């Protein structure tokens, strides 16, 4: 059973999917000028840590194991 179906509490990770772009940078800090750690592609799923997220950036964990920050406008939270 996934975390999404177990009655998650606020601040627990949720799943998102990259959308609205072909490639999305994972950055070291929640800043558009921060170092790029990795790139993920449209349709990729990521785990979002909302407690570490800020106004324009989600703190994410990619399937590759990379963790960092991505712009919220390019990630659709899965229901």
43-72 per-position pLDDT tens digit: 999 999 999 999 999 999 999 999 999 999
Q: What is the pLDDT of residue 10?
A: 59
Q: Is 39 within 8 Å of 69 (Cβ atoms)?
A: no
Reported pTM: 0.83
pLDDT for residue 41: 97
Pairing of the two strands 45-49 and 14-18: antiparallel
Give first-to-last CA distance, the chain, whole Å. 15
């Amino acid at each position: 059973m996934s975390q999404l179906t177990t009655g998650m509490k606020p601040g627990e990770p949720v799943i998102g999917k990259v959308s609205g772009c072909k490639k999305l940078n994972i950055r070291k800090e929640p800043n558009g000028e921060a170092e790029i750690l990795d790139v993920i592609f449209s349709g990729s799923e990521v785990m979002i840590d909302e407690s570490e997220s800020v106004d324009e950036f989600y703190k994410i964990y990619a399937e590759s194991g990379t963790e960092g920050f991505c712009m919220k406008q390019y990630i659709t939270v899965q229901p």
